A and B are shown apart, each in its own frame.
Chain A
């Protein structure tokens, strides 16, 4: 331990003359730049530069990775992705797998948001009650949040395989075993279940924090008026929890739209394209297929970015509206 802190001290001391020099040159008013510099450099190289390059990719074609050697194609990438002869029929689209992935993502997000909100709210409400061992129960529901997507997917893959525990239960009840992940409807169902299992604890925690921030005297007043529990929930608790609910709603939405790893490991997007979502489409187009179509992947990710921006703006609107409502009261 002493050795370690000694080493750390030595390394830190190395920077001292550098910063003294910087202080002399820049003066006290600009020394802040030296501290924020490394962070800015990393963000600049790995976030802002890529954003700029992404725009170039989206309007160029070919298979070359270097932007300077890619032919300009204008909106070609977008029309490859978006054009359909008949928008009522996905099969007539030039890239029907893209539309399928969008459709799947939308369906998944919608179903998942409703269920996730419901379960995280119910769990938070239960955990906010006066129960024994609250910390333990909170840990129980939160634990899966920490697991990596790959581990989550493998745990469920193991449970859902044809010789797995779910089929054992089925067979014990006299039913025929089901290939859970090979049937398109079941596969979608389990993708939703697994996703809720893995992330519910995170949103539950945000709602729980919100519930615990509601002042106790509100409830004492309601108790004086002998307010029935249901009314208490719908008229007091939920309205006061609204800001947290909106935050959770938007976070769930944004995360649902970006779902990739768990599903990729669990079903690989299959069977067929039943669980192929938009990020997996980007990954496959840009990296996994034989020919890497960076332009298409970049165009698809820009479309995704627009979608996420709309969601974020909607959140701002919503939270402003709910703030305004609070002020009025």
Chain B
């Protein structure tokens, strides 16, 4: 059995070398370090407010069991406590004054007992507090933030695909004067970090009356040099004969673009779509500047604003964080291979 487990794929029969053991140890440590924090966050988001305040924290969302006792309006917290005879019983706490807790037996609620609070320990149960999530929609304009994020991401991605593929088509399939210059200009913007033009870009947006407007976030983002580069490289591999044949049939250039080039460039378009989705969903600095009214906030902005204001309400903050990371996680889970190859081949971000 051990022999089977430690056999490597390459040289079947040979055992694991010590370097293999080190490699696997490194990988497992990596698994803990990379996934652990996210997992901890997700588990914590299911904890009740009182469980969140507990120290030391537990990994699983335990919270104190509550029982409904006849004669009391609210459910009472359950404790394991020593009664007067020194027997351990499960008792519900009615009230607590100083060091003395008044407790009742849920089975016989008529007689109250007095117990020293040091003689009782809470009874915990595993309970996932879904309320953290459901209450988000009622308590805050959460649906609004979600909608803003989705709107920006979807519209910006569609426009990015359209504008970038048109530009890439022009730069790969036509020869016109100034073509090289245009290509260099577009690729050159890769070198210009958006942070450097923050102030004047803000001016442009405010002059266009796009402050506090979702379009102010969308429009500047739709002409990405990365996208043009990626698509152009791909379109160069599409044979020109196809275009010539279509022109023979008197197809217009626009028809050629969207009936021939776009379908053929679908794989590259898919990679760019994933990228664009990631970029826009995760955007922070630019929306932070353009959108200052809270009803226009994206999820990222809302999260940032909440962590300042709602320092004590970690339960909502955690639930909101988890919701924000779900779409990206789904994209990742299903398209991991394409993301990886896309980045590795283009070396882009």
Contact = CB atoms under 8 A, between A and B. Distances in A.
A35 interface: yes
Given A23-B253, A265-B307, A301-B195, A163 B167 contact: no
15 contacts: A16-B255, A29-B177, A35-B166, A50-B204, A53-B200, A131-B27, A143-B34, A146-B328, A146-B331, A151-B324, A154-B318, A168-B57, A286-B198, A301-B195, A301-B196
Contacts of B164: 39
Nearest to A298: B199
A224 to B, nearest CB: 16
A154 B307 contact: yes
A78 interface: no
Most interface-central of A32, A53, A202 (chain B CB within 10 A):
A32
Contacts of B55: 163, 167-168, 171
A147 interface: yes
B93 to A, nearest CB: 24
A142 B10 contact: no
B222 A42 contact: yes
Contacts of B176: 29-33
B185 A43 contact: yes
Given A43-B186, A65-B203, A304-B196, A140 B35 contact: yes
B121 interface: no
Interface in A156-183: 156-159, 163-165, 167-168, 171-172
Nearest to B283: A148
A129 B17 CA distance: 12
Contact of A149 (B8, B284, B347): B284
B278 interface: yes
Contacts of B284: 148-150, 261, 265
B44 interface: yes
A35 B170 contact: yes
Contacts of B35: 140, 143
Nearest to A194: B37
Interface string A130-141: 111001011111
Give the interface SS of chain A, mostly helix, strand, loop or mixed: helix
Most interface-central of B24, B186, B321 (chain A CB within 10 A):
B321
A287 B202 contact: yes
Contact of A159 (B23, B40, B171, B303): B40
A305 B192 CA distance: 8
Contacts of A202: 343, 349
B197 A54 contact: yes
A182 to B, nearest CB: 13
B313 interface: no
B20 interface: yes
A206 B225 CA distance: 19
B179 interface: yes
Give the interface SS of chain B, mostly helix, strand, loop or mixed: helix
A22 B318 CA distance: 53
A54 B194 CA distance: 12
A158 B325 contact: no
A245 interface: no
Contact of A172 (B56, B186, B258): B56
A139 to B, nearest CB: 5
Given A33-B176, A279-B195, A131 B23 contact: yes
Contacts of A254: 193
Query: Interface residue tally of chain A, by bracket?
Result: 35 or more
B24 A54 contact: no
A36 interface: yes
B107 interface: no
A75 interface: no
Given A23-B252, A33-B170, A39-B166, A46 B220 contact: yes
B151 interface: no
Contact of B254 (A19, A43, A57, A265): A19
B201 interface: yes
Interface in A270-329: 279, 282-283, 286-287, 294, 297-298, 301-302, 304-305, 308-309, 312
B181 to A, nearest CB: 11
B198 A283 contact: yes
Interface in B167-188: 167, 169-171, 174-177, 179, 182, 185-186
A12 interface: yes
Interface stretch (B69-77, B112-120, B332-340): B332-340
A124 to B, nearest CB: 11
B163 A123 contact: no
A108 to B, nearest CB: 15
B237 interface: no
B304 interface: yes
Given A15-B254, A39-B164, A308-B193, 15 more contacts: A18-B254, A36-B171, A47-B197, A57-B200, A126-B26, A131-B24, A146-B339, A151-B321, A154-B317, A172-B56, A205-B343, A209-B345, A283-B285, A305-B192, A312-B191
B255 A50 contact: no
B275 to A, nearest CB: 11
Contacts of A141: 30, 34
B165 to A, nearest CB: 9
Contacts of A147: 38, 282, 325, 328
Contacts of A23: 252-253
Contact of A165 (B57, B163, B197): B57
